[in-house]
Amino acid sequence: MLDSPAKPFALAKTDARRIWLRAQRLDERAPFGDGPEATRAAVEHLGYLQIDTINVIERCHHHILWTRIPDYRREHLRQAQTIDKSVFEYWTHALSYVPTRDMPFFLPEMKRHRQSPKSWFASVKAEHLRKVLTLIRKDGPLSIRDIEDDVLVEKDHAWASRKPSKRALQLAFFTGALTISERSGMLKTYELPERHFGWDQRPKPASERQILDYLLDRALRSQGLVSLDSICHLDAGRKGAIRQLIEARMRRGRLAAVAIEGSGKVEHWAEPQTLDALPAAADETTHILSPFDPLIIQRKRLHLFFDYMHRFEAYVPKEKRVLGYFALPVLVDGEIVAAIDLKADREKQALLVQQWTWVGAGKATSHKRRIEEELHRFERFQIVRGDFKPDESRMAFDRNVQG
């Protein structure tokens, strides 16, 4: 049982790691089962699934699901978004898939975008917004490729489009006037939310207090041990209110303060039942993680728990890279032991290992065989198209592989 509420519960780093891995469902092989329903369950448990454009290997939203669902297929996420409508896209700390059941917690942010659009949308003219909304009301869902009569303009940003309608679609998305009903790669199809979700009327927006409860509960469920930074990742404005909520729950005995080994002045909290039953060592597991995985994306937290500071070097000049352009952390039995820079050669149906770096306690004699087995499985997920057979592995290693 816990000590006095006034005294933080002392927690060894090994136990802290196990709690986080348990919360992330990375300590067992198929925590969400299999089939399309596992995708909905995974997104609901994690709370969000980050989307990113980089595709030197499979994009991160598919990768994160594959890590936790061994038989995951890309069409499962499409089914969740487009057919079952159990997930939708919106902004968390980045563009993400989030559970449709959580829609009310995002409606106030949509209202804020309507009332005070970001400067990025200053160039959107009312006529362009009316145009895209009228087209969709009249003709149904469409993507930017379906709009062919735009008068092209000069780009004002490297990531911008010459079609004014594209930014109008984006603004309508952020304000909630449109939702993304389907995605193919980075091509988004937009639809009226009422028509897509089959609403007679919109859900009632959550209050700010309900949003705070949601953010704290989401973090407790998916992280196990929480800090102000981990709850309010890239949302520093809510830290004061979240602290007040934590203190109120502590007074009611619903949360306990935790002192993690080596955490210094960084405060952490957990639910008492989490600390009453500390997880045992994980099953024998090997995971090749996306750099956008929820376990990896918060770098300082990762360093505290795993003594590993990940470097995301896609935008670092080649001569200054240490781990490689798109290095993936490798988790073996609860420890990060390597970072492997991978690239998919889709024409040759091969997964290329650009660089292999051992970190922490990682070494070839203990870990290489198991990592290579997981790399072959990862390759099959990357490459499987048409008649490509699982035993036709073409994984290639170059001269930068260590060990």
What is the Rg, in whole angstroms, of the alpha carbon atoms belonging to the chain? 23
- The pLDDT of residue 148 is 87
Could you please state the CATH topology (level 3) that the domain comprising 1-14+207-276 is classified under.
Arc Repressor Mutant, subunit A (1.10.10)
- The pLDDT of residue 1 is 46
- The pLDDT of residue 151 is 73
- The pLDDT of residue 189 is 98
Could you please state the CATH topology (level 3) that the domain comprising 118-197 is classified under.
Arc Repressor Mutant, subunit A (1.10.10)
- The pLDDT of residue 331 is 97
Q: Which CA distances in Å does 105 have to 64, 214, 215, 260?
A: 23, 8, 9, 31
Extract the residue ranges of the chain whose pLDDT is less than 70: 1-6, 152-153, 155-160, 384-403
- Helix crossing, 299-306 with 13-23: angle to 10°? 130
- The pLDDT of residue 137 is 97
The b-or-e profile of 160-177 (16+ CB within 10 A means b, else e) is: ebebbbbbbbbbbbbbbb
Burial status of residue 190 (CB atoms within 10 A of its CB: 0-12, 13-18, 19 or more): buried
Query: CA-to-CA distance for 233 and 228, rounded, in angstroms?
Result: 8
**Cβ distance 291 to 310 under 8 Å?**
yes
Backbone angles phi, psi at 344, to 5 degrees: -90, 125
Q: What is the pLDDT of residues 16-36, one digit of tens each?
A: 999 999 999 999 999 999 999
